[in-house]
Chain A
């Protein structure tokens, strides 16, 4: 039997920053405009031009670095990465090399190697031979995107599966989104995730030969691409073959991975320090400003919900991933106070409320106080859970409704045991279904459901399920 091969995955994520202007010139960022309307001598790399870095891009990079717990370099510099390509107008990309602005960090359990600033390439569109009398196939270059600020985030190879990689990438996207520094739209390319994939015998600490996967423009494709590549590598090794280091292009339509043939000299980028730029040495004021502007991020909020509010991890993550919902949840917890556990509030917000909003065509959330009142009323058994759901539907339609008045008006006040009304209804239900009563007596506990259901129907949900159960057993002498 072949030994088990463990997946070893690292991600490289390019985040387009949502600044107003490009990384090194004042041309506005755009998406979907006519070609070459956002260009100037600088981003077209005319002779004699010089770059000047965008201060907002530096600020955004610091925010990303802090959100990922990265060490911020006291002094980082830019390098030139030299290569010829029509989408690279200077024939060098200004990037960071041995001293990135953000060093080692961590998001969740995954270690971050680095995060650095660079500029995006232009867009090349292959147009075949159209419009050309002579010559080979042509491409058109549009420099609108050229020079868009990018932060490239590189992880350590800490991910152990395709699903885990996609899940972590989602967390990263949510984190960056909440920083407000990028649109993080994978389809439009403002978030691009490449994966370095290898396998190794389980338990080994050595790294196998890795391949780089590109062009996975959704989390689903990211997962599928990695799955396909892991399968390919496992089969290859199972058949005593070897994995070759190469770059693979994922085709979302077919699910195929095709090798991008690399040019022989493609790997000699001749990096050297960019002489047109001076160092970035974040001052204490720049660092403080970035720190102060950080919202509480999903990972930290999840941890706080678990530790302070006693939520389980899945529920904490669900709430923390959506900052609006998280804020609403926390407001309701505060308004509920001692009346109910935060866990109960979380159940309402993520469960019944979400369902009710969806049922009402994605209605707005009700105001905080009415929902808190309702949760309190259910917890103190003034209204049953089923009755509470009816009140909730009314709250969703009218966000400022008075919960006590709604319970009163709709006659949903929970039936207690004192006045004998509920006992009477229970007795009638037992009498109406003698077969079920007999089964219960002879030990079939499940049969009790039929009688409980009948009582609930009769009381229109005003009865407390536990109390009904108790009364049935009492009346049957159990």
Chain B
């Protein structure tokens, strides 16, 4: 029999439910794998905790339940349910989700030692379905970054090549799944923070429609863009986790849920489906290897019966500009609460109030966070609002209209996920704008609020590598209209089967023992 950690989540959950494998042994195997983290993927793991039971008020008593209404905290969160579709399955959680009693930092020193008094809705839904919190994963500070080098707790290493970045901001979650340190993980995506690291780590990453999953308990970066989603080895597991987590939440007024829920995808062909390729892709800057994998994937779609159609997204090229006004503006406001008054770091507490504020925030935040707070504050400040924020909101409208027009003609829009494969640690840290360009293909979908999935589609040699450098994974992105997740997952499932990435990459895949033991 294969190792327990070779099973996908859906396979393991089925075997646990059928009594074929023991939930205890399965959980223990993953806790041991997580504890052997050499990628700096985890900031906290269950293995190192004395108890997973969150302590409500320090006296060992459990929390009171609310008076009938939905409350942000409860007596059983996040203790896992005995049964459910994920019974016995441990899942790694990006450290941006609050977990009651479990340290939660969002990758920032300003939250070092913070233990939230409540658990995020997405995590509660997982635990209510029987899942366990395996650990909290490293990330770019407050989800600001595309390489995970902006973490206050050190960078995460790419399991395919430890000299390279895993992508960001959910780099820890992506590396944990790709590196065989977790069967699945939660991430968040504001401008590409699930899809880009999934692409760089050779796994599946799904950003659902804005509003599909509650944002309650997801530490906010850019509230109008943030959305949570799964990292998994395959499309079926992504569907399984999305199905558990989606839904309207009384604690999030912007949550909607997916009507009819999500079923596990079964489709094997793409007959009758139309895939739009943006005409603008021709002029886009991307690695030759990435372009080759994209073109090969397009050919595979046609072989499966899919039809390739040229579309146009004329405003997508302005996505980065609009995004880097809107997201920092919202972030500057969202991160203002880290002021040293109620929780987290306080510096210069003996000085006057303004000095306490300024010292706390200057010591607690890293350079990228400060840069974006500055950018966002500037964009909202008196005299600049209309020129920057207002204009960016209008570009956002145009980008959404471009997608609406495209989807009148096609079922999906396809692009590469990232312009390059994983780059070397430190390669782009001195050039913020170059770093931001990593989000070129993922940002437009975020602005439009539509779902998109990143699939591993092949391998390519890095352009910054020498001769004989190992080939690295290349992602393929499929976007669909709002709330068309079921259709998106069905198409991704069919394409995944035809691409056969796992078989093609073979032993190079880290979770199969490739790079992990290298």
Q: Which residue in A46, A50, A134 is a CB contact (below 8 Å) of B253?
A: A50
Q: Once the chains bind, are B380 and A278 in contact (CB under 8 Å)?
A: no
Chain B residues within an 8 Å CB radius of A277: 253-254
B96 nearest in chain A by CB position? A48
- State whether the Cβ of B116 lies closer than 8 Å to any Cβ in chain A: yes
Rounded to whole Å, the gap between the CB of B67 and the closest CB of chain A is 8
Q: Which residue in A51, A134, A270 is a CB contact (below 8 Å) of B333?
A: A270
Chain A residues within an 8 Å CB radius of B96: 48
Of A36-44, A228-236, A416-424, the one contacting chain B is A36-44
Q: Could you tell me which residues of chain A, from 118 to 174, have a CB within 8 Å of some CB in chain B?
A: 132, 134-136, 141
A53 CA / B253 CA spacing, docked (Å)? 8
CB-based A-B contact count at 8 angstroms: 118
Rounded to whole Å, the gap between the CB of A275 and the closest CB of chain B is 4
Q: Once the chains bind, are B215 and A50 in contact (CB under 8 Å)?
A: yes
Q: Once the chains bind, are B389 and A48 in contact (CB under 8 Å)?
A: no
Q: What string of 1s and 0s marks CB contacts (under 8 Å) between A265-284 and chain B?
A: 00110111001111000000
Q: Once the chains bind, are B341 and A270 in contact (CB under 8 Å)?
A: no
Q: Once the chains bind, are B336 and A26 in contact (CB under 8 Å)?
A: no
Q: What string of 1s and 0s marks CB contacts (under 8 Å) between B327-347 and chain A?
A: 001101100111101110000
Q: Once the chains bind, are B219 and A47 in contact (CB under 8 Å)?
A: yes
Q: Once the chains bind, are B333 and A48 in contact (CB under 8 Å)?
A: no
Q: Which residue in A41, A52, A92 is a CB contact (below 8 Å) of B118?
A: A41
A82 CA / B330 CA spacing, docked (Å)? 11
Do A49 and B253 form a contact, CB below 8 Å, given A26-B66, A90-B337, A272-B389?
no
Chain A residues within an 8 Å CB radius of B359: none
Rounded to whole Å, the gap between the CB of A389 and the closest CB of chain B is 56
Chain A residues within an 8 Å CB radius of B217: 48-49
Q: Which residue in A141, A270, A278 is a CB contact (below 8 Å) of B377?
A: A270
Chain B residues within an 8 Å CB radius of A360: none
A44 CA / B116 CA spacing, docked (Å)? 12
Q: What string of 1s and 0s marks CB contacts (under 8 Å) between A83-94 and chain B?
A: 010100111100
Q: Once the chains bind, are A86 and B341 in contact (CB under 8 Å)?
A: yes
Of B25-33, B50-58, B68-76, the one contacting chain A is B68-76
A267 nearest in chain B by CB position? B382
A134 nearest in chain B by CB position? B350
Mostly helix, strand, loop or mixed at chain B's interface?
loop
A92 nearest in chain B by CB position? B333
- State whether the Cβ of A385 lies closer than 8 Å to any Cβ in chain B: no
B70 nearest in chain A by CB position? A26
- State whether the Cβ of A45 lies closer than 8 Å to any Cβ in chain B: yes
- State whether the Cβ of A317 lies closer than 8 Å to any Cβ in chain B: no
Q: Once the chains bind, are B219 and A52 in contact (CB under 8 Å)?
A: no
- State whether the Cβ of B381 lies closer than 8 Å to any Cβ in chain A: yes
- State whether the Cβ of B251 lies closer than 8 Å to any Cβ in chain A: yes
Rounded to whole Å, the gap between the CB of B332 and the closest CB of chain A is 8
Q: Once the chains bind, are B342 and A48 in contact (CB under 8 Å)?
A: no
Count chain A residues whose beta carbon lies closer than 8 angstroms to a beta carbon of B.
36
Q: What string of 1s and 0s marks CB contacts (under 8 Å) between B243-254 and chain A?
A: 000000011111
Q: Once the chains bind, are B382 and A268 in contact (CB under 8 Å)?
A: yes
Q: Once the chains bind, are A47 and B329 in contact (CB under 8 Å)?
A: no
Q: Give the interface size class of chain B.
A: 35 or more
Q: Once the chains bind, are B343 and A276 in contact (CB under 8 Å)?
A: no
Do A52 and B250 form a contact, CB below 8 Å, given A47-B98, A270-B380, A272-B329?
yes
Rounded to whole Å, the gap between the CB of B187 and the closest CB of chain A is 15
Chain A residues within an 8 Å CB radius of B66: 26
B382 nearest in chain A by CB position? A268
Q: Once the chains bind, are A48 and B120 in contact (CB under 8 Å)?
A: yes
Chain A residues within an 8 Å CB radius of B251: 50, 52
- State whether the Cβ of A14 lies closer than 8 Å to any Cβ in chain B: no
Do A46 and B333 form a contact, CB below 8 Å, given A40-B72, A53-B253, A136-B351?
no
- State whether the Cβ of A80 lies closer than 8 Å to any Cβ in chain B: yes
Q: Once the chains bind, are A272 and B385 in contact (CB under 8 Å)?
A: yes
Q: Once the chains bind, are A41 and B116 in contact (CB under 8 Å)?
A: yes
Q: Once the chains bind, are B353 and A86 in contact (CB under 8 Å)?
A: yes
- State whether the Cβ of B218 lies closer than 8 Å to any Cβ in chain A: yes
Do A276 and B117 form a contact, CB below 8 Å, given A136-B350, A136-B351?
no
Rounded to whole Å, the gap between the CB of B11 and the closest CB of chain A is 32
Do A45 and B350 form a contact, CB below 8 Å, given A51-B253, A278-B253?
no
Q: Once the chains bind, are A26 and B69 in contact (CB under 8 Å)?
A: yes
Q: What string of 1s and 0s marks CB contacts (under 8 Å) between A285-304 and chain B?
A: 00000000000000000000
Q: Once the chains bind, are A47 and B336 in contact (CB under 8 Å)?
A: no
Q: Once the chains bind, are B342 and A45 in contact (CB under 8 Å)?
A: yes
Chain A residues within an 8 Å CB radius of B385: 270, 272
- State whether the Cβ of B231 lies closer than 8 Å to any Cβ in chain A: no
A272 nearest in chain B by CB position? B380
Q: Once the chains bind, are B336 and A48 in contact (CB under 8 Å)?
A: no
Chain B residues within an 8 Å CB radius of A134: 350
Q: Once the chains bind, are B333 and A49 in contact (CB under 8 Å)?
A: no
Do A52 and B337 form a contact, CB below 8 Å, given A136-B351, A270-B380?
no
A143 nearest in chain B by CB position? B342
- State whether the Cβ of B357 lies closer than 8 Å to any Cβ in chain A: yes
B118 nearest in chain A by CB position? A41
A85 nearest in chain B by CB position? B353
Q: What string of 1s and 0s marks CB contacts (under 8 Å) between B196-234 and chain A?
A: 000000000000000000011111101110000000000
B225 nearest in chain A by CB position? A275
- State whether the Cβ of B106 lies closer than 8 Å to any Cβ in chain A: yes
A53 nearest in chain B by CB position? B253
Q: Once the chains bind, are B116 and A47 in contact (CB under 8 Å)?
A: yes
Q: Which residue in B69, B97, B224, B339 is a CB contact (below 8 Å) of A48?
A: B97
Rounded to whole Å, the gap between the CB of B111 and the closest CB of chain A is 7
Q: Which residue in B72, B223, B337, B389 is a CB contact (below 8 Å) of A276?
A: B223
A42 nearest in chain B by CB position? B72
Q: Once the chains bind, are A48 and B116 in contact (CB under 8 Å)?
A: yes
Rounded to whole Å, the gap between the CB of B123 and the closest CB of chain A is 10
A48 CA / B223 CA spacing, docked (Å)? 10
Q: What string of 1s and 0s marks CB contacts (under 8 Å) between A248-278 and chain B?
A: 0000000000000000000110111001111
Q: Once the chains bind, are A135 and B349 in contact (CB under 8 Å)?
A: yes
A270 CA / B252 CA spacing, docked (Å)? 24
Ordered by A's residue number, 25 sampled pairs between the chains whose C-beta atoms are within 8 Å are A46-B342, A47-B116, A47-B219, A48-B97, A48-B98, A48-B216, A48-B218, A49-B72, A49-B118, A50-B251, A50-B252, A52-B251, A80-B333, A84-B339, A86-B353, A89-B341, A91-B337, A91-B339, A92-B336, A132-B350, A134-B350, A268-B382, A272-B333, A275-B224, A275-B254
The 3 closest A-B pairs by CB, nearest first: A135-B350, A91-B336, A275-B224
Q: Other CB < 8 Å A-B pairs besides A41-B118, A52-B253, A272-B329, 17 of them?
A: A44-B342, A46-B343, A47-B111, A47-B116, A48-B98, A50-B215, A50-B251, A50-B253, A52-B252, A86-B339, A89-B342, A91-B336, A92-B336, A267-B382, A270-B380, A271-B380, A277-B254
